[in-house]
Amino acid sequence: MFSTINVYLLQVTLLEQRTRTAKIQEYLYRHVASSGIPKQLHCLDLKLAHEHSINANARLQLPSPELVPALVDNSYFHFVLASDNILAASVVASSLVQNSFRPEKVVLHIITDSKTFSPMQAWFSLHSLTPAIIEVKALHHFDWLTKGKVPVLEAMEKDQKARSQFRGGSSAIVANTTEKPHIIAAKLQALSPKYNSLMNHIRIYLPELFPSLDKVVFLDDDIVIQTDLSSLWDIDMNGKVNGAVETCRGEDKFVMAKRFKSYLNFSHPLISNNFDPNECAWAYGMNIFDLEAWRETNISEAYHYWLEQNLKSDLSLWQLGTLPPGLIAFHGHVHPIDPFWHMLGLGYQDNTSIPDAKSAGVIHFNGRAKPWLDIAFPQLRSLWTKYVNFSDKFIRTCHIRAT
Where do the structural domains in the chain lie, given as residue ranges? Answer: 39-397
Q: How many CB atoms lie within 10 A of CB 339?
A: 17
- Given this model, what pLDDT does residue 311 score? 84
Name the packing angle between helices 39-54 and 86-98 (round to 10°).
Answer: 80
CA distance 257 to 376: 23
**Nearest-CA neighbor of 76 among 254, 215, 218, 224?**
215
Q: How far is CA 286 from the centre of its chain?
A: 9
Question: 10 Å Cβ neighbour count for 241?
Answer: 25
Is residue 374 within 8 A of residue 32, CB to CB? The reply is no
**CATH entry 3.90.550.10 includes domain 39-397:** yes
271-309 CB burial, b ≥16 within 10 A, e <16? beeebeeeebbbbbbbbbbbbebbeeeebbebbbebbeb
Which pLDDT score is estimated for 249?
A: 85
Q: 384: buried, middle or exposed (CB in 10 Å: 19+, 13-18, 0-12)? A: buried
Instruction: Find the angle CA(362)-CA(382)-CA(351) to the nearest 5 degrees.
Output: 75
Q: HEC states along 283-342?
A: CCCEEEEEHHHHCCCCHHHHHHHHHHHHHHCCCCCCCCCCHHHHHHHCCCCEEECCHHHC
Taking the model in full, what pTM does it have? 0.85
Question: Which uninterrupted H or E stretch holds 54?
Answer: helix 39-54
Q: What is the pLDDT of residue 169?
A: 53
pLDDT of amino acid 131: 98
The pLDDT of residue 34 is: 46
Output the tens digit of pLDDT for each of the chain's 403 residues: 557 776 666 766 676 666 656 655 555 555 444 455 689 999 999 999 999 999 999 999 999 999 999 999 999 999 999 999 999 999 999 999 999 999 999 999 999 999 999 999 999 999 999 999 999 999 888 877 665 556 666 666 655 555 555 445 555 554 555 566 555 555 555 555 555 567 788 999 999 999 999 999 999 999 999 999 999 999 999 999 999 999 998 777 668 889 999 999 999 999 999 999 999 999 999 999 999 999 999 999 999 999 889 888 888 898 777 899 999 999 999 999 999 999 999 988 767 889 999 999 999 999 888 999 988 889 999 999 999 999 999 999 999 988 7
